[in-house]
Chains A and B, each alone.
Chain A
Amino acid sequence: EVQLVESGGGLVKPGGSLRLSCAASGFTFSSYSMNWVRQAPGKGLEWVSSISSSSSYIYYADSVKGRFTISRDNAKNSLYLQMNSLRAEDTAVYYCARVEDFYFDYWGQGTLVTVSS
């Protein structure tokens, strides 16, 4: 059974940093592109970042470019999102999602990031 479990969310002050993790199991992690998708309270889904299976290709939404860094450790079956210079508008539930071809076939349960003073 495919499982994606996010962790690392919490309350952080504006300008602060946070590192999210996503532990994957039930599939060959190193064979899939992985993504982060976020959802601000009461708002819609927003794609944040994507990393290919071997980390060769990395993409970011314009809203986080230069502040967030996606990475993965295939030996540990883990996906990460380093978030720096956090802003109030980064407050959201952050989901990790597996990509099969060009769609998100499995999602984690999400981890809440709150940026507030």
Chain B
Amino acid sequence: QSALTQPASVSGSPGQSITISCTGTSSDVGGYNYVSWYQQHPGKAPKLMIYEVSNRPSGVPDRFSGSKSGNTASLTISGLQAEDEADYYCSSYTSSSTPYVFGTGTKVTVL
């Protein structure tokens, strides 16, 4: 099972919006609405930000939103803030012999 493809880095100024893509196949991202997104600050454990494509857990700001089209899922951060600078990973359930796959990760920089 190959990792889902994400851009290595995305940057934006405070207040701007950025979008991170996550591209898979019909066996994972495209086949199920089980895409999730995780934020990871340096030296910290990942934190769930979005589940089932577009749902936000309690406590996650509504600046974070998710969507999916075909084999590509996206995470959008609106009104970018300094504390949003972190690594972001997508994940999907898969129909392969291994049930989960992560994306390659995207470093978000707030300029």
Name A residues whose Cβ lies closer than 8 Å to a Cβ of B: 35, 37, 44-47, 50, 59-62, 95, 100-110
One of B9-17, B18-26, B40-48, B72-80 at the interface: B40-48
Given A47-B101, A107-B45, A107-B46, check contact A102 B34 (CB 8 Å). yes
Which residue from B36, B45, B52, B104 sits with its C-beta under 8 Å from A44?
B104
Chief secondary structure at chain A's binding surface: strand
With A103-B51, A103-B91 known to touch, is A59 a contact of B98 (CB < 8 Å)? yes
Q: Which residues of B contact A59 (CB under 8 A)?
A: 97-99
Q: How far is the CA of A50 from the CA of B91 in the complex (A)?
A: 14
The chain B residue with its CB closest to the CB of A33 is: B99
Q: How many residues of B contact A (CB 8 A)?
A: 26
Measured in the bound complex, the distance between the Cα atoms of B46 and A108 in whole Å is 9
- Give 10 nearest A-B pairs by CB, closest first: A103-B36, A102-B34, A44-B105, A102-B93, A103-B51, A107-B45, A45-B102, A47-B100, A45-B89, A105-B48
Closest to A44 in B: B105
B98 touching A62, Cβ below 8 Å? yes
How far in angstroms is the closest Cβ of chain B from A1? 13
Q: Which residue of B lies closest to A50 (CB)?
A: B99
A102 touches B32 (CB 8 A): yes
Contacts A44-B89, A101-B52, A104-B36 given: A95-B98 contact, CB under 8 Å? no
* A104–B3 CB distance below 8 A: no
What would 17 more interface pairs be, CB under 8 Å, given A44-B89, A109-B45? A44-B3, A45-B38, A45-B40, A45-B91, A50-B100, A59-B98, A60-B98, A61-B1, A95-B45, A95-B46, A102-B100, A103-B34, A104-B48, A105-B48, A105-B57, A106-B48, A107-B45
